Amino acid sequence: MIVTDATNVLRILGDVDRFLVRFLDPVLHDMGLAREHWQVLRLLDGGRGHPMGEIARSLQLPSATATRLVDLLVTNMFAYRRSDPLDRRRVLVQLSDTGSERLRRIEEALRGSTSAGLTGLSADERKRLVELFDRFLEASASGDEQASKVSIRSQAPTSSGARD
């Protein structure tokens, strides 16, 4: 019988992280990037610019760390900064053509690299795995929003002005 409690889910996620270290990190290292750089490139791949705050929130990183990641991408000409046409005070980070090409090369290398790690799964099982991970991520994001609302409510001043 498979145990499906939270502890088992966390163990599996730890195993998935080790899978990434084994298959993703070497590909990125060969291209002079870390996993976080790849995550920023993927985020920027939508064709529109993203403000630094959004990048930091999406990757759940401190703003200074996100800035350093973007600085390296800009230095390597994988991304560039531009003014937001709707608000000149705001700066957007955009994927460059060079960054787009680098992302395609990474993804191509990853397809070959991760295929070896997924050889025991059929095409249908791989598809199902992706669907389940997507559902898991959606549910956890929804849980994050709910936890945030609860946290905000618990910190709201009471009628006496004291906090809970």
Q: Are residues 98 and 125 in the same domain?
A: no
Full-prediction pTM beyond 0.75? no
Q: Are residues 132 and 108 in the same domain?
A: no
State which residues form the domain around 142: 120-156
For 76, 79, 118, the CA distances from 71, given in Å and listed in that order, are 9, 9, 34
CB 80 within 8 A of CB 97: no
Q: What is d(CA 79, CA 125) in angstroms, rounded to the nearest whole number? A: 35
The CA-based diameter of the chain, rounded to the nearest angstrom, is: 62
pLDDT digits (tens, 9 = 90+) for 134-160: 898 888 877 655 544 444 444 444 444
Q: Are residues 32 and 72 in the same domain?
A: yes
Q: Are residues 71 and 99 in the same domain?
A: yes
Q: Are residues 151 and 106 in the same domain?
A: no
Q: Name the strand (E) or helix (H) holding 79.
A: strand 79-84
Does a structural domain hold residue 162?
no
pLDDT digits (tens, 9 = 90+) for 93-124: 999 999 999 999 999 988 887 777 788 888 89
Q: Are residues 151 and 95 in the same domain?
A: no
**Structural domain tally of the chain?**
2
Q: What per-residue confidence (pLDDT) applies to 68?
A: 96
Backbone angles phi, psi at 136, to 5 degrees: -60, -45
